[in-house]
Structure 1
Amino acid sequence: MPESPEVQALTEELATRLAGRALAGVDVVEFRTLKTRARTPETLVGERVTGAARHGKHVDVAFGAAHLVVSLGRHGWARWGAAGDEADLPDDAPPTLVVLEFDDGSTLELTDAGDWVSLGCFVVDDPAEVPAVAKLGPDPAHPDFSRTQFDAAVAGRRKQVKAVLQDQESLAGIGNAYSDEILFMARISPVGHASALTADEADRLFAATVGTIGDAIEAQRGVPIAELKAAKVASMRVHGRAGEPCPVCGDTIRDFSFASTTAQYCPTDQTHGELLPLK
């Protein structure tokens, strides 16, 4: 799942590549991606890109007063094609669901690798018209993100810490992978309740949240779009590393079941040796 560091890097590259470019054509391959049926991306043809921004895990491309907001969902991503490029994609490349063509001949393909369509496109006058954007909590990557905002989102919650970190209405932009990394850095069990955090644990969790997301954004900045997912995987210390030694203590990184997916943790550093259930 794309999370704020990769989406931020994607957005910044799009802002640079597309600035001043006019949308010349749109090909919607999968109609289920269209979430504002009365205003489709085709209505933006002829308009020039005036900027790009990120809202949580959403990409917002501005065309003057209108916005194309792309929800990447669980498996959505983008593929850039420069004018004159010959497509030479691997057999397992995710299918293209929407193609945006610009006046210089370049294309932006929106893809989805899932078994069900999670990618969504909205054409709106204000990004807050997108329900998920309107409900977003504060973003730990924002320079004004404060400890007060963090405490309001986390402190006293009778909910597992990992679930709070991933709740977009509590904190924007964090998903399964970076919540694993944050909790590992903070040395906190992912299944403990936020309401049970000690003052020291809350301090560590705040520092780990801001530091992990901020460091990841800096590391991903400037990485080509096609390489961002691989760069994310390579940067993980525990997420996706089950069976490998912990980079801190040498214990074996373990899987555990969380919601409808699998996550990872270090028993020694996070759960005092307790093994979490894997269904």
Structure 2
Amino acid sequence: MPELPEVAALADFLDQHLRGAVVAKIQLVSFAVLKTADPPYSGLEGRAVTGVRRFGKFVSVEADGLFFVFHLARAGWLRFTDSPTDTQLRMGKGHIAARLTFSGAAGPVGMDLTEAGTKKSLAIYVVRDPYDVPGIAALGPDPFSPGFDVGTFAAILASSSQQIKGVLRSQGVMAGIGNAYSDEILHAARTSPFAIAKSLEPADVQRLYDAIHSILGTAMEEATGKPPNELKDAKRSHMRVHGRTGEACPVCGDTVREVSFADSALQYCPTCQTKGKILADRRTSRFLK
């Protein structure tokens, strides 16, 4: 799933390549992805793109007062081309959920929103205001917003009885962090994913706050300027524990472990994060003492 760094890079890339271009044609290959009916998506055609922004994990393309907003969910992605075709796509066929073509000063360009797998969660909204999208309206503060200081972060954690892994991933608490970067942040902060948020000491909170900005900040620097087709590999390349089950922790050399759930998994280092304790794998009910 693309998270804050990749979505920020996508928004920046699209802003650079689409600003000033006119929406020429929109094809929806799956009407299930469209979550709004008014205004109609066809109302975007003929409008010029005036900017692209990120809201958490949402990308918003503004076109003369209307907004084309999308969320790539778990298996969605964006393909960009400067050689779009006029091929009429068939409904319900293939991985393409929507295709947009634009007419720009340098010629036509296009983008496909794609989604692999059988569980379809990619979502598209056409709205008059990005905050008309329920997911955007419910977002918590962005980690890079001016008001998100360590005091604000400490207050958020102090009010939560949830495990810190879930708090970091909750978009209503903080916008943009998902499964992968929460693993990386917790590893950098030497914090157990099962630690209860409100139980953390001030020093723990400070380490987490610093880790959020160092991990996401570094990832954003790595992603900035890269085209969409390079962002996935860029994300994987600098992961230390996420997706590294069975490999050696680059900090201490211990074996990276995994906790599996029904539809996701987390990775962590026992030495760095849990004082050597192996956490229970709740999906298979292997409760380890």
TM-score (ref. length: structure 2): 0.90
- Say which SS state the counterpart of residue 222 (structure 2) adopts: helix
Give the superposition deviation at 1:156.
Answer: 3.8
Q: Deviations over 1:179-224 (max 9, x none)?
A: 0000000000001101111111111111111221111111110111
Structure 2 partner of 1:234: 237
- Matched to 1:197, the amino acid is L
Structure 2 partner of 1:82: 82
Identity %: 45
- Say which SS state the counterpart of residue 253 (structure 2) adopts: coil
Structure 1 partner of 2:173: 170
Q: Distance in 2 between matches of 1:106 and 1:156?
A: 47
Change (3 A) 1:138 1:258: farther
- Matched to 2:10, the amino acid is L
Question: Do the aligned partners of 1:138 and 1:149 also contact (CA within 8 Å) in 2?
Answer: no
Question: Do the aligned partners of 1:156 and 1:196 also contact (CA within 8 Å) in 2?
Answer: no
- Say which SS state the counterpart of residue 27 (structure 1) adopts: strand
Question: Do the aligned partners of 2:9 and 2:226 also contact (CA within 8 Å) in 1?
Answer: yes
Give the superposition deviation at 1:234.
Answer: 1.0
Structure 2 unmatched ranges of 5 or more: 88-93, 285-289
Q: Deviations over 1:221-252 (max 9, x none)?
A: 01111010111011101000011000000000
- Matched to 1:223, the amino acid is K
Change (3 A) 1:84 1:198: closer
1:256 to 252, 256, 259: 259
Q: Deviations over 1:143-197 (max 9, x none)?
A: 4422232123222410000000000000000000000000000000001101111
Q: Distance in 2 between matches of 1:13 and 1:196?
A: 40
More deviation in 65-74 or 180-189?
Answer: 65-74
- Say which SS state the counterpart of residue 207 (structure 1) adopts: helix
Q: Distance in 2 between matches of 1:179 and 1:258?
A: 16
Question: Do the aligned partners of 1:40 and 1:122 also contact (CA within 8 Å) in 2?
Answer: no
Q: Distance in 2 between matches of 1:237 and 1:144?
A: 29
Where in structure 1 do 4 or more consecutive aligned residues deviate above 4 Å? Answer: none
Residues 188-203 of structure 1: pairs in structure 2 closer than 5 A: 188-203=191-206
Change (3 A) 1:73 1:63: same
Q: Distance in 1 between matches of 2:40 and 2:118?
A: 24
Give the superposition deviation at 1:258.
Answer: 4.6
More deviation in 96-105 or 143-152?
Answer: 143-152
1:135 aligns with 2:146: no
More deviation in 22-31 or 76-85?
Answer: 76-85
Question: Do the aligned partners of 1:74 and 1:114 also contact (CA within 8 Å) in 2?
Answer: no
Question: Do the aligned partners of 1:141 and 1:213 also contact (CA within 8 Å) in 2?
Answer: no
Change (3 A) 1:212 1:259: farther
Q: Deviations over 1:31-53 (max 9, x none)?
A: 10111123332210000000000
Give the superposition deviation at 1:136.
Answer: 0.3
Structure 1 partner of 2:41: 41
Q: Distance in 1 between matches of 2:223 and 2:11?
A: 11
Question: Do the aligned partners of 1:6 and 1:228 also contact (CA within 8 Å) in 2?
Answer: yes
- Say which SS state the counterpart of residue 227 (structure 1) adopts: helix
Give the superposition deviation at 1:121.
Answer: 0.9
Structure 1 partner of 2:91: none
Give the superposition deviation at 1:67.
Answer: 0.7
Q: Distance in 2 between matches of 1:57 and 1:84?
A: 26
Change (3 A) 1:76 1:40: farther
Structure 1 partner of 2:226: 223
Question: Do the aligned partners of 1:49 and 1:63 also contact (CA within 8 Å) in 2?
Answer: yes
Give the superposition deviation at 1:98.
Answer: 0.1
More deviation in 75-84 or 95-104?
Answer: 75-84
TM-score (ref. length: structure 1): 0.94
- Matched to 2:65, the amino acid is A
1:243 aligns with 2:246: yes
1:109 aligns with 2:115: no
Question: Do the aligned partners of 1:256 and 1:276 also contact (CA within 8 Å) in 2?
Answer: yes
The size of the alignment, in residue pairs, is: 273
Question: Do the aligned partners of 1:154 and 1:170 also contact (CA within 8 Å) in 2?
Answer: no
